[in-house]
Chains A and B, each alone.
Chain A
Amino acid sequence: ETGVTQTPRHLVMGMTNKKSLKCEQHLGHNAMYWYKQSAKKPLELMFVYNFKEQTENNSVPSRFSPECPNSSHLFLHLHTLQPEDSALYLCASSQAGVVETQYFGPGTRLLVL
């Protein structure tokens, strides 16, 4: 149990669908992250939230829309995705501060048809 949970674990969606990924951390952290993990590529940081405020958007297309209603929950809203968006989406959390360890959830495996 890593303390960071993600739902759903698997998701198949069409390019016209709208879906959301959910992340919840039970560690009392105040920073949360979304990463994209594609085959044969390094993990890509997508978004960072510190104390519910977005502090990083790593040039992510607008078809990905994050939401952080409180320090424990993070969502990634998806709409009109492309097949190349198929990947493992990982959520992580940490204390906000200098070089705090990031704790990762198990990820959501997304397939866009």
Chain B
Amino acid sequence: AQSVTQLDSQVPVFEEAPVELRCNYSSSVSVYLFWYVQYPNQGLQLLLKYLSGSTLVKGINGFEAEFNKSQTSFHLRKPSVHISDTAEYFCAVSEGGSNYKLTFGKGTLLTVNP
């Protein structure tokens, strides 16, 4: 069975600083990986996804993530954050052939301070 671990429940950073949100997964088969963002009082919005090909994936709002198969990781990064990036970020995994069955991590609350 697949599982997702987000190592940090909260990450506080200052505006314009770089940030990395960590995500590790476990699965016995090939996987597809996703990062979603949830702003206060809203649903989840897709930031980026890895399906195949280049291991460096670029998403919206300047975010990117790198798939590392040997370390079973899919960490999310942004070189310079803004106050508006304050939100909860969820990593999710879907096993090959199971298109709809997303398994989510517990989420990381990113707080950007002035």
Q: With a 10 A CB-CB cut-off, give which of B32, B94, B102, B107 has the most chain A CB atoms.
A: B102
Contact A56–B41 (Cβ < 8 Å)? no
Contact B100–A56 (Cβ < 8 Å)? yes
CB < 8 Å: which of B4, B97, B100, B107 contacts A33?
Answer: B100
Residues of A within 8 A of B94 (CB): 99
CB < 8 Å: which of A2, A40, A94, A104 contacts B100?
Answer: A94
A residues 1-28 touching B (CB-CB < 8 Å): 2, 4, 6
Contact B43–A4 (Cβ < 8 Å)? yes
Residues of B within 8 A of A104 (CB): 36, 43-45
**B69 at the A/B interface (Cβ < 8 Å)?**
no
Residues of B within 8 A of A55 (CB): 100
The 8 A CB mask of A84-113 against B (1 = contact, 0 = none) is 000000101010111111111111000000
B90, closest chain A residue (CB): A43
The 8 A CB mask of A35-74 against B (1 = contact, 0 = none) is 0000011110100101000011000000000000000000
CB < 8 Å: which of B42, B49, B103 contacts A101?
Answer: B49
**A31 at the A/B interface (Cβ < 8 Å)?**
yes
Residues of A within 8 A of B44 (CB): 43, 90, 92, 104
B103, closest chain A residue (CB): A42
Could you tell me the distance in whole angstroms from the C-beta of B94 to the nearest C-beta in chain A?
A: 6
Contact A2–B43 (Cβ < 8 Å)? yes
Residues of B within 8 A of A94 (CB): 100
**B78 at the A/B interface (Cβ < 8 Å)?**
no
**B46 at the A/B interface (Cβ < 8 Å)?**
yes
Contact A45–B102 (Cβ < 8 Å)? yes
> With A42-B106, A45-B102 in contact, do A101 and B46 touch (Cβ < 8 Å)?
yes
Contact B99–A97 (Cβ < 8 Å)? yes
Which residues of B are interface residues toward A (Cβ below 8 A)?
A: 4, 32, 36, 41-46, 49, 51, 90, 94, 97, 99-107
Given contacts A56-B100, A107-B42, 18 further A-B contacts (CB under 8 A): A2-B45, A33-B100, A40-B106, A42-B4, A42-B90, A42-B107, A43-B44, A45-B102, A94-B100, A97-B99, A98-B99, A101-B49, A102-B46, A104-B45, A105-B43, A106-B41, A106-B43, A107-B43
